[in-house]
Amino acid sequence: MKNILFIAAIIFSVIFSGCSRDSQNDTSDGDNDSELDPVVFTLYSDKTELFVEFKPLISGTVTKFAAHFTHLGDSFKAFTEGTVTLRLKTGDKEISVISNSPTSPGIFRLELTPEMQGKGQLIFDIQTELFLDQIIIENVTVYPSEEAAFFEQTETPEGDDITFLKEQAWKIEFANQLLIRQSFNEVVKTSGQITSAPGDESVIVAKSQGVVKIGKGNATAGARVNSGELLFTVKGSDVIGGNIDVRFEEVKLNYEKTLADYERGKELVKDNIISLKEFLEREIALKNAEIIYNSISQNYSGDGENVYSPMSGFIKNILVSDGQYVNAGQPLGSVSKNRRLLLTAEVSQQYFSRLGTFTSANFRTEYDNKVYQTSDLNGTLVSFGRTVDNNSYYIPVNFEIDNKGNLIPGSFVQVYLISSDIKDALIIPLSSLIEEQGLFYVFVQTGGESFQKREVKTGAGDGINIEILSGVNEGERVVTKGAYNIKLAAMSGSIPEHGHEH
């Protein structure tokens, strides 16, 4: 029995030796399965994103690093200058290498030959003209041999990640955002209108009937005017009834007559030729005539009744044409200071119980598609409706705001009324969302050059940000700028060639 077992062991040894030789021969022919896969890290500081690739560290072997450095900010951009010091620290031993400039925008190439073995740190010290920074990779292993590194290498599962290179991201408006839970406000989305605030606008009316003449060539909508500036003249020379010129002459003659009667009466009353009662009647008649005369004469010239701007500001509109006939009391135009405006949001009756919880609002204009915040415009909640008009289903909510931008009175806007607080919400900018057939998606950055497309469920939005209910998790990074470019890369179906060594 022992002889049989011995012979079987010899046969198994020969077979295993042959398989080993075949495996070695396959490797010598360049079988990629025996090659070491690169180690990839993507780390962030407050100022910098580091994406670095390198082969596993082996004692006594040169390791090449392709380190990609990106400035974080409103838009992520490649480093175009700076010095990077790479240090490998194992125990109390340390080696380092310095690169004084990127070999191409954003990419620093470094080479390091580890002399020790075991666990250590890779420390990247970054110095630019604007700031100093440091990023540390913990628990990096330095292997004694390539065989040891290969033995511990784990196979990376294949996924459906989208590849979008750093070189591509640096050429466009690109940014991502770390998802953290934070407070957010419940929002009611509705429509509204911007109008002039009470006291900020004045309507100009004709005080007599006649033919209107627009005063100056610059008396047009949007023109700046000063208080007391001539805007219109109403002439009555061609009008038979209610002629301002005839009226002025009548008032003037009556005033002159009553003045003469009064002056004559002062002498007559002294000699008791007229009674004191008659003299007082003449005095009253004079005062009445004087009031009427002054009222007409202060706005009357030889050309007719002059109509002046009641305040400094801008002409909101001109309601008449040159040469048009107008009646007394008819609006000719309006002037607005354009300093304070009224934002009126029309709220559905279903939100009546929450009207008192609205504290501020965001609104989006149609003409510049920009979102404004009442908190940035010195806005205050003025009032909200207590009743509903018979012809309307909506309740008005009014905010008074400063016109610090180019807000146009009379324009219609999209309003986001900000209400009660939502605790621990995941918030992303609206620019992150991509809509496809009624569904919403975002791109999550899973690595320096890898992304995943995720369907998300959205919650409340305030016109700038929106709450995400599902599809992403806290701690992940969502693309906030450049999502459409990543979508195009995914649609192409091809993996782009790298412009650098990995």
Question: Which DSSP string corresponds to 176-235?
Answer: EEE--EEEEEEEEEEEEEEEEPTTSEEEEE-SS-EEEEE--TT-STT-EE-TT-EEEEEE
Domain segments of the chain as ranges = 37-157, 177-194+340-492, 202-334
With residues binned 3-state (H G I as helix, E B as strand, rest as coil), the percentages for the chain, rounded to 5, are 25, 45, 35
* Alpha-carbon gap, residue 356 to 374, rounded angstroms: 17
Q: Is the pTM of this model over 0.75?
A: no
Give 155's DSSP letter: P
| The pairing of beta strand 63-71 with beta strand 107-112 | antiparallel
Q: Which two tokens stand for residue 316?
A: 């909101």
**Which CATH architecture describes the domain 202-334?**
Beta Barrel (2.40)
Q: Which two tokens stand for residue 29?
A: 């022919």
* SS3 call for 288: helix
* SS3 call for 338: coil
Closest CA to 294 of 262, 337, 255, 327: 255
Give 127's DSSP letter: E
* SS3 call for 83: strand
Check: CB of residue 187 under 8 Å from CB of residue 462: yes
Per-residue model confidence as pLDDT tens for the chain (502 residues): 444 433 343 333 333 344 333 433 433 343 444 578 899 999 999 999 999 999 999 999 999 999 999 999 999 999 999 999 999 999 889 999 999 999 999 999 999 999 889 999 999 999 999 999 999 999 999 999 999 998 887 776 666 889 999 999 999 999 999 999 999 988 888 999 998 888 778 888 887 778 888 876 567 777 888 888 888 888 776 555 556 666 777 777 888 888 888 888 888 878 788 888 888 888 888 888 888 777 776 666 656 777 888 888 888 888 888 888 888 888 988 888 778 899 999 988 888 878 888 889 999 998 888 889 998 999 998 888 777 666 678 889 999 999 876 788 889 999 999 987 889 999 999 999 999 999 999 999 999 999 999 999 999 888 889 999 999 999 999 999 999 999 998 887 655 555 444 4
Chain mean position to CA 282: 71
Please state, in angstroms and as integers, the Cα–Cα distance from residue 239 to each residue in 175, 230, 300, following that order.
70, 22, 16
Check: CB of residue 347 under 8 Å from CB of residue 406: no
Residue that the structure tokens 């001109």 belong to: 318
Please state, in angstroms and as integers, the Cα–Cα distance from residue 159 to each residue in 28, 453, 470, following that order.
30, 12, 21
Residue 186, number of CB atoms within 10 A of its CB: 17
* Alpha-carbon gap, residue 427 to 441, rounded angstroms: 14
Element (H, E) at 24: helix 2-28
Chain mean position to CA 253: 66
Closest CA to 62 of 95, 91, 85: 95
Assigned CATH for 177-194+340-492: 2.40.30.170
* SS3 call for 62: coil
The pLDDT of residue 9 is: 37
- The domain made up of 37-157 has a fold known as Immunoglobulin-like (2.60.40)
